[in-house]
Amino acid sequence: MSVYRRFTDALLQWYSQHQRDLPWRHTRDPYAIWVSEIMLQQTQVSRVAASYYPNFLEKFPTVQSLAAASWDTVYPYWKGLGYYQRGKNLLKAAKMVCDQFDGQVPLERDLLRLLPGIGDYTSAAIISFATDARLPAIDTNISRLIRGLWPRRSVSKVAYGLIRQARSGRDWNSAMMDLATHLRTHRSVEGGLAEFFPPKVVQRIYPPRPKPKPKPKRKYTRKIEVGVACIYEHGRYLIQTRPEGKTFTGRWEFPGGKREKGEDFRACVKREIMEEIGVEVSVRPHFYEEICHFGATQLVLRFHRCQIQAGTPQPLEGQELDWVPPSQFGSVHFLDTNRNALARLQQMRV
């Protein structure tokens, strides 16, 4: 028996006992599978499975229903996932499917790759999971497994050699994904797969993280000070996305901006809020200060609770605005620099 056959047999035996129960594994609908694959890009499986995926499909159960929608209609069901270009590409591609393919998601790789947001991996995943084709969907994790086991061979050739030994391409791809997740967490595997993953191989695939070295004292040559406005109204806080062209585009944050020379923080917040969203606010003394270091730059953020005195918030810099209660902070993809301030706000009365 070839080594590929032995590995695949052991893999599928292990999968039969350890497979994850995920909602998109209960369908062969290429549209529903496509939605799951786009949502799962750079997003935790648990977050997608728990709410975003079922809620999205309840609102847009077919590619036709999605194609008939606008981004304003789709946005509430994507809000909090971050990387909003994924959702916009999904909407644009749905319209193309209805216009160019009579509302049928194409199941040929060359045609799928014509749709925005679909590349080599996603096209293979849609076809394999929808048709059970023995087509490997090679993502970063599967590639890492194969390189760890057969470091001198082509990842693509090994993947095709392995999947040909399976009766189900769908099961093989799912099993490889679950195995990668299991090994990353548990660092070992039982059953017939154990012979393929002795400790030295697991360490090659997922090297242990080195202990952090004490950071030498750094001289910071640049200091940026930012006044941040936590505007509250009716039990909710106003948040905005990072606009196109800035770092971390699409991530959520509280509005605010850089303090100018000779300007105090509260005056900075008033000015920035008028420039960004066109309202006049009252600014309380800061309740939290965050100091971050990026290379030779020291970033100082002061968070102030504010209330609107005049005007209605408008996205004057191309950002998206939303109001969220503290109880929903955990479902929003905030900038990491806002994390500690969010925890403080959740402990306050609004």
Distance CA 162, CA 172 (A): 9
Nearest to 51 by CA among 17, 78, 30: 78
Q: Give percent above pLDDT 70 in the chain.
A: 98
Catalytic choice (37, 253, 272, 276): 37
Residue 109, pLDDT score: 96
Q: What is the predicted pLDDT for the residue at 247? A: 81
pLDDT for 218 beyond 80: no
pLDDT reading at 214 higher than 90? no
Stated pTM of the model: 0.64
Where residue 82 falls among pLDDT bands split at 50, 70, 90? Answer: confident
Q: What is the DSSP string of 229-298?
A: EEEEETTEEEEEEPPTTSTTTT-EE--EEEPPTT--HHHHHHHHHHHHH--EEEEPPPSEEEEEEETTEE
Per-residue pLDDT reduced to its tens digit, 263-286: 999 999 999 999 999 999 999 999
Q: Give the pLDDT confidence of 144-191 residue by residue, as tens digits.
A: 999 999 999 999 999 999 999 999 999 999 999 999 999 999 999 999
Average pLDDT over residues 295-301: 88
For the stretch 222-242, pLDDT in tens is 889 999 999 999 999 999 998
Q: Rounded to the nearest 5°, which phi and psi values hold at 238?
A: -85, 125
Query: Beta-strand (E) ranges in the chain?
Result: 222-233, 236-241, 252-253, 256-258, 280-283, 288-294, 297-310, 321-324
Going along the chain from its start, the domains and CATH numbers come out as 3-205 (1.10.340.30), 222-346 (3.90.79.10)
Q: What is the pLDDT of residues 311-336, one digit of tens each?
A: 999 999 889 999 999 989 988 999 99
φ, ψ for residue 227, nearest 5 deg: -95, 130
- 108 in catalytic set: no
Please report the sign of the dihedral spanned by the C-alpha atoms of residue 269, residue 271, residue 272, residue 274.
positive
Q: Is the pLDDT of residue 97 over 90?
A: yes
Q: pLDDT band at residue 52, thresholds of 50, 70 and 90? A: very high
pLDDT at 215 over 80: no
Radius of gyration for the alpha carbons in the chain, expressed in angstroms and rounded: 24
Q: For all residues of the chain together, what is the average pLDDT?
A: 93
pLDDT at 108 over 70: yes
Model confidence at 2, in pLDDT bands (50, 70, 90)? Answer: very high
Q: Who's near 272: CB < 8 A, 6+ residues apart?
A: 227, 229, 255, 256, 257, 258
Structure confidence at residue 248 as a pLDDT band (50, 70, 90): confident
Q: pLDDT for 118-149, tens place per residue?
A: 999 999 999 999 999 999 999 999 999 999 99
φ/ψ of 321, rounded to 5, equals: -115, 150
